[in-house]
Amino acid sequence: MSRWMSHEEMRALLRQRLKSSRYEHSIGVAETALKLAKRFRVDEEKAYVAGLLHDCAREFPNAELMQEAEKRGIEAGPVERAMPLLLHAYIGAYRVKELYGVEDREISQAIWRHTVGGADMTPLDQIIYFADMIEPHREYPKAGQLRALAETASLDEMLLAGLSESILFVVQKRHLVHPDTVTARNEILLKMHRS
C-alpha cells in the first residue's frame, strides 16, 4: 500500500496543472532520479516522487510566486525577491503535501533544494538537483558532459560539477549567485580536501 497517491494519479494531476513541456521535463527528472537512486542505493520511491513533483509549483505564473510564498509563511531573501522564479522550489515543497498527499520530510527537502542546493545536502537532495540538470530534455552545451558523469563519477563529484556549471551559467548571465549554491559547492570541496 502506497503512503500517498499512486504515480499514475500524480502524473494525471501534474499533467492537468503544468504546460506540456514542463510535464515532460518532470517525467524526465523522475526517470533520471530513479536511475541515479538505483546506482547510489538511495530510496527509489522517494527519488521518483521527488523528481516527478519537483516542479509542481511551476503552475503559478512568476508574478504570483511571491504571494504564494507569503501565503505559506516562506520568507524570501534578497536573491529570491530579485529572482522570484526561485520561489517555485520552496512553494513546491509545500504543494506536494497540499495537492499530492506526500508528507515526507526528505522529499520536501529535496524539492526545496533542487534549484539552488543548500548546506548538508543529503544523497536524495543531490540526486534531485543533478537529475534536474541532466534529464534527457535538457539541452545546453555541458549537458552531455554532465550526463556522462552520472555513469561513472561519485555523487559528490557529480554535484560539484553541477553546482560549478550552475554558478558559471548565472555569472555569465549577470544574474545573482544564490548563497546556498556557494555553500553547497564549498562543503563538497572541503569534504574532498579532508579525505
pLDDT of 192 strictly over 80: yes
Q: Which three three-digit cell numbers place residue 92?
A: 513546491
Give strand ranges (E) for 16-113.
none
Do residues 158 and 126 make contact, with C-beta atoms less than 8 angstroms apart? yes
Distance CA 164, CA 162 (A): 5
Instruction: Identify which of 57, 43, 44, 46 has the alpha carbon closest to the alpha carbon of residue 98.
Output: 57
pLDDT of 154 strictly over 60: yes
- Average per-residue pLDDT for the chain: 96
Binned at pLDDT 50, 70 and 90, residue 4 comes out as: confident
Q: Which three three-digit cell numbers place residue 102?
A: 506526500
Tell me the pLDDT tens digit for each residue of 129-151: 999 999 999 998 899 999 999 99
Instruction: Identify which of 157, 185, 124 has the alpha carbon closest to the alpha carbon of residue 145.
Output: 157
Tell me the pLDDT tens digit for each residue of 40-86: 999 999 999 999 999 999 999 999 999 999 999 999 999 999 999 99
**DSSP class of 4:** S
- Crossing angle between the packed helical segments 44-53 and 7-17, to the nearest 10 degrees: 10
Identity of the residue numbered 134:
I
Length, in residues, of the chain: 195
Binned at pLDDT 50, 70 and 90, residue 3 comes out as: confident
Do residues 86 and 116 make contact, with C-beta atoms less than 8 angstroms apart? yes
Tell me the pLDDT tens digit for each residue of 85-121: 999 999 999 999 999 999 999 999 999 999 999 999 9
The pLDDT of residue 94 is 97
**Average pLDDT for 24-53:** 98
The pLDDT of residue 1 is 35
Binned at pLDDT 50, 70 and 90, residue 195 comes out as: confident
The pTM assigned to this predicted structure is 0.96
The pLDDT of residue 95 is 96
Distance CA 48, CA 160 (A): 22
Distances (CA, A) of 114 to 5, 8, 72, 163: 22, 23, 19, 11
Do residues 128 and 106 make contact, with C-beta atoms less than 8 angstroms apart? no
The pLDDT of residue 85 is 96
